[in-house]
Amino acid sequence: MLTHDVRAAMSDVLGGLRLIDASGLSPELRAQIDRVRSSGEGLARILEEALIGMYEAPSTPSKPLSNLNLERFLHDMEMRWSGRATANGLSLRISMADDLPLIIYVNRMAVDRILSNLLGNAIKYAAQEGVTLKIDRLEEDELRLRVTDDGPGFSNASLAQLFQYAGRPKGSVQPGTGLGLHIAKDLADRIGGRLSVSNGENGGAEVTLVLPRASWMPPHLAESDDTGLPNLKGAKILVAEDNETNQLLTAQMLETLGAEYEIAPNGVEALNWLEREHFDLALIDIEMPLLNGIEVMRAVRAGPEGEAYLPLIALTAYVLKTDRDAIYAAGADGIIAKPIMSVETFGRALANHMERIPITDANQAVALTIDLDTPILDCNRMTELLNIAGPDTARELLNRLSTDLERVRAQLLAACSASDIDTIRAETHVLISLAGAIGAHPLHRLAVALNSTAHRSDALNLRALCRETTTMIQAVLIRLIDKLESLDDQE
């Protein structure tokens, strides 16, 4: 009962943050909300780990290692700790070398707790120049994470007993007990890393965590992208699956594809994860305890707008037509039959549902509409929709679609002109749903690319993609007008 209440309270906090309309807020206040969100998600992970250890059965499935998107993780770290640094009149700078891997395979909570202790200490003791976290790559593929500050550094007495429990020397004028470094050292040893401490040549302290290759890249993962498999690096996927064998198999395939993922062993935990954090796609097993997959998908589709548009893929051995109809009616975007036999087929199915089209510059964004062989509108899909609507409401359906697309087009044009990122993100969410429903596949891909670009605040590509997207909306509108005219001719 206690675990339920704690999780519910934490979910309410994070859910409340996501419901804040930030469109009218200042950039400073938006950044502060982002800091609170990042800290809340970190707290939720720590609580989850503590609750499982304290109150739940030892046999509870756990997966200490997972794919971690390094850049996104460090962004969250910066959001979480920059507020405390600013409150102390300091700056926090995080820098990444160019040759770092996008994905590392580690115990996320351990690395999170190590860096949190190191950054917390550095901010506590820093003087004027602030705190720096630098990440680079050493020989033999070792990753080095260094936290430095310009404070007083460590005394000889401190260095002699630094990693001991409550290792602060007696009579020390510095605050604290030294417990943070003891925790960091213990965690570093557990994950196969090395933690070292020294004083800088020009003063201040430097604490370094080194992760050997074996601690962040498992042997079965090739670092090269030239594998012939779909590239899901950067994607964050939730796997809701109660069977431990299926958890392991799915996790291994996602690792091979480069995706970051989390495992939920039942339907309630799946909803907890979705309330706590953002995912790019969710794989939902249909037969799960507490809440089954159908109930989970219904809850997601009835939830906030961000979750309502999340791609949901059902994992099931039940592929009869009646089962498929029930799954799609619950809100699934697709079905993958178990057992999954091919990692390539599995990866392509996920990539297709996430429409992972890389857009790196404006020229590629323009080429997106020129090179596609797909027609502007899937005539078979439209015919199917009109048949479902029936002769009495087909015209009303086309008129409503046209009105909605016209409104989205006008909103995007205005938002792009004003560089209104929040409106672009909101309208592309609507556009993704509309374009997918009517089979406007090129428009759907452009909408996904524009939404992703807006999330990255990529001003360089934003205007070009906005122009291409609104042009494609106009092309789809022309097709809808043709459909209306053909209905008139039939009468």
pLDDT in tens, 285-304: 988 888 888 999 988 888 76
The domain that holds 460 is classified in CATH as 1.20.120
Indicate whether 265 belongs to any domain: yes
Q: Are residues 370 and 486 in the same domain?
A: yes
Total length of the chain: 491
Domain's final residue, options 321, 354, 387: 354
Indicate whether 119 belongs to any domain: yes
First CA to last CA across the chain, in angstroms? 64
String of DSSP letters for 193-221: -EEEEEE-TTSSEEEEEEE-HHHHS-TT-
Closest to 300 in 3D by CA, of 313, 290, 287, 319: 313
CA distance 442 to 429: 15
Q: Residue holding tokens 């791609």?
A: 311
CA 152 and chain centroid, separation: 38
CB neighbour list of residue 447: distance below 8 Å, 6 or more residues apart? 428, 431, 432, 435, 469
Q: Are residues 469 and 378 in the same domain?
A: yes
Q: Are residues 461 and 389 in the same domain?
A: yes
Indicate whether 208 belongs to any domain: yes
- Predicted TM-score (pTM) of the model is 0.48
Closest to 449 in 3D by CA, of 458, 440, 350: 458
pLDDT in tens, 98-121: 888 877 878 888 888 899 888 888
pLDDT in tens, 382-440: 777 777 777 777 888 888 888 889 988 888 888 887 888 888 888 887 788 788 778 78
CA distance 416 to 466: 7
Q: Are residues 95 and 211 in the same domain?
A: yes
Q: Are residues 345 and 439 in the same domain?
A: no
CA 19 and chain centroid, separation: 18
Q: Are residues 70 and 211 in the same domain?
A: yes
Q: Are residues 376 and 315 in the same domain?
A: no
Which residues constitute the domain of residue 77?
66-216
Residue 444 buriedness (CB in 10 A; 0-12 / 13-18 / 19+):
buried
Q: Are residues 77 and 180 in the same domain?
A: yes
Of 144-148, 236-240, 324-328, 487-491, the range with the lowest mean pLDDT is: 487-491
Q: Are residues 36 and 14 in the same domain?
A: yes
Q: Are residues 343 and 460 in the same domain?
A: no
Beta bridge partners, 63, equal none
Eight-class DSSP state of 266: S
Indicate whether 230 belongs to any domain: no
CA distance 138 to 161: 28
Indicate whether 231 belongs to any domain: no
* Element of type H or E holding 313: strand 312-316
pLDDT at 58: 42
Domain's final residue, options 313, 331, 354: 354
pLDDT in tens, 207-243: 999 998 888 875 444 444 445 677 787 788 999 998 8
Q: Are residues 45 and 75 in the same domain?
A: no
CA distance 266 to 284: 10
Q: Are residues 280 and 396 in the same domain?
A: no
Indicate whether 222 belongs to any domain: no
Indicate whether 385 belongs to any domain: yes
pLDDT at 318: 59
State the pLDDT confidence band at 363, using cuts at 50, 70 and 90.
Answer: very low
Q: For the chain, give the mean pLDDT.
A: 76
Domain's final residue, options 216, 244, 274: 216
CA distance 124 to 463: 43
CA 45 and chain centroid, separation: 15
Indicate whether 224 belongs to any domain: no
| Count of domains for the chain | 4
The domain that holds 311 is classified in CATH as 3.40.50.2300
Residue 317 CB coordination number (10 Å)? 11
